[in-house]
Amino acid sequence: MLTPESLKRIDREIAKYPADQKQSAVMAALAIAQEEQGWLSSEAIECVAGYLGMAPIAAYEVATFYNMYDLKPVGKYKLSVCTNLPCMLTGGVDAGEYLKRKLGIGFNETTPDGLITLKESECMGACGDAPVMIVNNRRMCSWMNPEQIDKLLAELK
């Protein structure tokens, strides 16, 4: 059920590991599957497991352990805001509150038009840039004051 392009990318990941250790590519393969499909359905996880020759439950364990995998559908854009202590001291919590007000949703909720899902996240390793947030697990946005947040929201269409 994954596209040939995704499988090709997964092959490149498999090549990083010894020939008898294909399972090592599972984290990357699940990330690729999620990138393609927006979230990880049980079918997608099983497909990855089958491709890597591992038990579906073993791939499912990985998908449920790491918190950047989404096991339920999310909005077109997933916005993860760090509220951990160093970020909190310089506005991370306030940025989360500001986003909730602007979007009219709470953490782990999606706007009614399906555009944005808001998540509270743990340390992203960018505390000096606080407030920080990540769009769709890929793009980190630094120094997000109200003005910058407004700009970002206007851009996410």
Q: Do 10 and 32 form a contact (C-beta atoms < 8 A)?
A: yes
Min dist CB 6 to another protein, Å, is 16
Q: Which residues contact 112 (CB under 8 A, 6 or more apart)?
A: none
Is 36 among the residues that bind another protein (CB under 8 A)?
no
Q: Does 109 bind another protein (CB under 8 A)?
A: no
Is 83 among the residues that bind another protein (CB under 8 A)?
A: yes
Q: Does 71 bind another protein (CB under 8 A)?
A: no
Q: How many CB atoms lie within 10 A of CB 154?
A: 8
Query: Cα angle at 35 between 44 and 94, to 5 degrees?
Result: 120
Residue with tokens 């120094």: 143
Could you say which residues in the range 136-155 bind another protein, by CB under 8 A? Answer: 137-140, 145-147
Q: Name the site residues for another protein (rule: CB under 8 A).
A: 16-18, 21, 23-28, 30-31, 52, 54, 58, 61-62, 65-69, 83-86, 88-91, 93-95, 98, 121-131, 134, 137-140, 145-147
